[in-house]
Every structure is written in C-alpha cells, then in structure tokens.
Structure 1
C-alpha cells in the first residue's frame, strides 16, 4: 500500500467522486481509477460501489475513510518532525473551531504563534458545535480543535485541555438603554436575532425563551457573522461571546453582561497519537497563553 493510493482514496471521498477528485489532484482520471483498483486488489475488498457514473462508498470504504486520514496525518507528523530537525520549525496545522472560539482565543493564538514560529501556517475550519469539532479531530480532518462545551470533550484517544471560561453577553441596538448588568427578567418582550439550532449561543437563547415571557425571534440566521449587522440595524438584540466585545462596541452596539454571568468552558482538543512539529507548536503556544493568563489573574488586585 502506497501513500499516494491513500491520498487518492481520501480525495475521492472528500470531493464526492472520481471526476472532482482527479480535477482537484490534477491527475488524469484513468490514473486515479487504476490506483484505486490496485488498492482494492491489495485489500481484497471493494471500496466503492459504481452506480452508473457515480461512486458510492461501500461498507469497507466507510470503515477505511477515517483511518486513511489518520494514517496520512501520522505520516505527515513523521516527515515534519524529521524536517524540523534540519531546517527549523515550519509547516501547517489544521484547526477546527466553533465560530466564537475562532474569534477568541484562536486569533490570539495565531498572533502569538506568528511571533514565535513565523514558518507555521494555521488553517482554520469552521464547525457548528463542540461535537463537530471533536469529530473532525478524531476523524483526522484536523489536527487540533478549539470549542466551548459545558462537559469536558471526550473520545477514544482524545486529549482535552481547559483554556478559559468564555462569557456570553447581550448585544443591543444603539440607544437601547439596557441596564448593565442585565437579568433575564429584564428581557421580557425583547426580540432577538438568533443563530440556527446546535450552537451554544442558540442553546442559551432557548433557555431564556423557555423562562422569560414574550421573548421572541426577530430573525434566524445561518451565518453568524450577520448577527451584529442586524443588531446594529435595530432588527433585534443578540447574544454573543465575549470575544466580540471590542468589535461590537466600536460599531456602536450596546454590550452588557448578565447577572448572574453566563459562562461556558472553552477547550483545546487533539489526538494522543503522533503530531506534527507545527501542531506541537500550536499546542505549546496555546497552553503557554493559558498559563500566562492564569498568572495575570492571580496577580490582579481584588476589587470586590
């Protein structure tokens, strides 16, 4: 079995067929087909069912897909480790993150990483939920992930580090005059711009709506980046993680805290197996930032 065969197989799975995979890989489709036929012969099983011009994963193919990704990740880790010894740290790390985590702490991590290791490229992939982040890491689609979850993320071979407690805030249109901090009971009669189900922000809204009378949805959006523009246009209020605070205030929105505070733990996750030197640098930079923030918090004066 050759690395090239696994790369071709994963490309067919991810691009939805031989034609699209051949185009993405810039290889002739007959060459791709021959490589997969050879792989199937070596394994003794069919990886795809051919239905007309469509290729559908067989049960053996489904079993192989995630494992092939992980093998390719492990091979990359070995290659990168060897290269780092001779040429200095360089490479790419694929990071899965929910939208709020992609804003903070991932942006700060990337900024710190660029200072420490300018040869490392971070590529982020968006996920709707913590469960999706964990799945992307365990399946080998990404090498690390950052997400918010009330429970510690778990899975076979998964390592999870607590980063911080993210705080959710109320963001209201300019001139709303919302009290700061605000209690749930103060939200009676308010209309909200909300994301679709499965996100942590939507879960918070659903809890509020189930408790506070006359709370309603003004708009439901699939793209979370349009929530703030809608709030600024007066369509409704929004719920946002604290990473949006500076941007929302600079744009003119009113940003207030909840009393009691609404918080959600954020986690860094990765597999326990071999990782690339670039991924290790990402992990080390992230955890160094956590330790630095912890020391700063411990040394801060008590103003209570």
Structure 2
C-alpha cells in the first residue's frame, strides 16, 4: 500500500523507487501483488505513463488513511514502550488512596508524566487480588499477605493505625490508649462493607455499640472528628497530615497492617515495571 501511494505521489514507478531506495522491478512486483490481492488493476498501463483506474482512484484515499492509522499505531506502541504515553491500571484499597498512593503516584508521574494512571477501588483485599489475577489491573495496592500462587508481592512496610480525637475527648487519655478504653469513646467510622473488612475492622468488631456516626465519605469523617463529633481510627501519617486541631494516640496493643503492591507472575508492561521501580527508590 505504501508503494502504491508512493507511485501516485511521485508520478511513476521510477521516481517512487528512487525515493524509497528500492529496485524498480521490486516496486513494480509489489504493486502487481497488491492488485492481485484486491482483484482489480489500480493503474492503466496502456500509455507511456501510469494512470489511475477507477479502482485505483477509489482505493487511494482509504490507502492513505490506513497508512496514517498504521503510523499512529506504531507511535502509540513506541510511546507505551518508551513510557511517553499509555495507561497503567492500579487497583487500590480505598483506605490506601490517601496514604501511600499519592506519594507513589507522584513519584511515578514526575518520572513519566505522559502515562495515564487509572486508579480503581474494587472493594476489598480479595477483590484487589482478583482484579490483578484476572488481568483487569496491572498492579494492586493492598494489605499483605495476599493468598494465591499466581501473584507476587512487593512489601512497602507497616502502616500504624492510631486514634485521632478532638481535644475534649483526649483529655486525660493515656498514650498509647488501651483498646478496651475505646468503649468509652464515641467513634466516627467510615462505612465499609462487612464482607471486605480489613485487619482494623476485625480489631474493632465489638465496637458497634460505641459508634456515634457512620459516614460513607472519608473527608466528612475527618471534619466530624475535627468538630468534636467523636474519634476515628486512621493511619498515623494520614492523621498527622490531614487533620487539624486533633490529638493523636497510639494503641495498646499496637494496631498495624503490612501493605504492598501485588502483580502477576511473568512479564509486566513497561509502565508497571516503572511503577514498581518508583515504589522502591
């Protein structure tokens, strides 16, 4: 197709062959092969110059579009391979989209600003693992360990869970606070489906009678705590960075969860490899 368009643009086989650095017979043979595949002659060869037939005229514009599409496709593949374009799908637990996902995503984006990050919350650790295992996402950010022989893990460390309280509730409260003392503290909790409870939810299974507010919106939970509606459990880094005018208490025993990235066995996309590299500076 490229040879056919070149013959048209250069006004003949000889000049087209020179422009393409081909032997003239090779170019002519390729055009003949194209005509056989199409089942129609593209050029009228009865005169001294090649003239497009009706079939050739009808084929010219589609051929140009196909060549342009092919060039765009090559460019897209090159962009993905060179990390100047493309997309990386990451499944992440909702509780980890505040920490550590922003830091990881920012580090990756500074290195590869042309790659689109698509972050989804499948709805719990098991769903994160399933989305990665089934190829719906390239990487997963979740609690560890994750069970499944087909998945590999990159641990990112432990996340300490602390109690964030308004000053009125923190007065006289020990640091760390015994977990059994939480019975006397009204809690503001983010709604989580019971089938996707994390380690923290298991620790707090008996606190249902002490919950003062349940809310589906994380930011609203924080504002409620800041305005004295109750206390909440958060990763320490999130509590220290995001909440204002609150007191922070560790727990006794400590509540921690190990977090990390999960991915499938075998070759990964260039973007997924680059994200793993950015996660381990």
Query: TM over 0.5, yes or no?
Result: yes
Q: Can you give the 5+ residue segments of structure 1 that lack an aligned partner in the other structure?
A: 1-78, 290-304
- What's the offset of the Cα at 1:242? 2.3
Question: What does residue 100 of structure 1 align with?
Answer: 95
Q: Determine helix, strand or coil for the equivalent of 1:263.
A: strand
Question: Root-mean-square deviation (CA), in Å?
Answer: 2.7
- What's the offset of the Cα at 1:81? 9.9
Aligned to 1:225, which of 216, 219, 224?
A: 219
Aligned to 1:131, which of 126, 130, 151?
A: 126
TM-score, normalised via structure 1 length: 0.59
TM-score, normalised via structure 2 length: 0.64
Distance 1:86 1:268, change over 3 A: closer
Rounded Cα–Cα distance in structure 2 between residues aligned with 1:265 and 1:243: 14
- What's the offset of the Cα at 1:82? 5.0
- What's the offset of the Cα at 1:80? 9.6
Q: Is the 8 A contact 2:91 2:121 kept in 1?
A: yes
Provide, for residues 206-240 of structure 1, a one-character-per-residue CA deviation record: whole Å limited to 9, x for no partner: 15x39xxxx61112233333221222232221111
Q: Is the 8 A contact 1:170 1:256 kept in 2?
A: yes
Give 1:189-208 correspondences, 5 Å limit.
Answer: 189-194=184-189, 195-196=191-192, 197=194, 198-200=196-198, 201-206=200-205
Rounded Cα–Cα distance in structure 2 between residues aligned with 1:111 and 1:80: 26
Q: Can you give the 5+ residue segments of structure 2 that lack an aligned partner in the other structure?
A: 1-73
Q: How many pairs does the alignment contain?
A: 203
- What's the offset of the Cα at 1:171? 1.0
- What's the offset of the Cα at 1:134? 0.5
Q: Determine helix, strand or coil for the equivalent of 2:266.
A: coil
Q: Is the 8 A contact 1:193 1:217 kept in 2?
A: yes
User: Residue 159 in 1 paired to residue 152 in 2?
Assistant: yes
User: Residue 173 in 1 paired to residue 166 in 2?
Assistant: yes
Rounded Cα–Cα distance in structure 1 between residues aligned with 2:129 and 2:203: 21
Kindly name which structure, 1 or 2, has the bigger radius of gyration based on alpha carbons.
2
Q: Is the 8 A contact 1:81 1:277 kept in 2?
A: no
- What's the offset of the Cα at 1:148? 1.6
Question: What does residue 188 of structure 1 align with?
Answer: 183
- What's the offset of the Cα at 1:175? 3.2
Q: Is the 8 A contact 2:83 2:271 kept in 1?
A: no
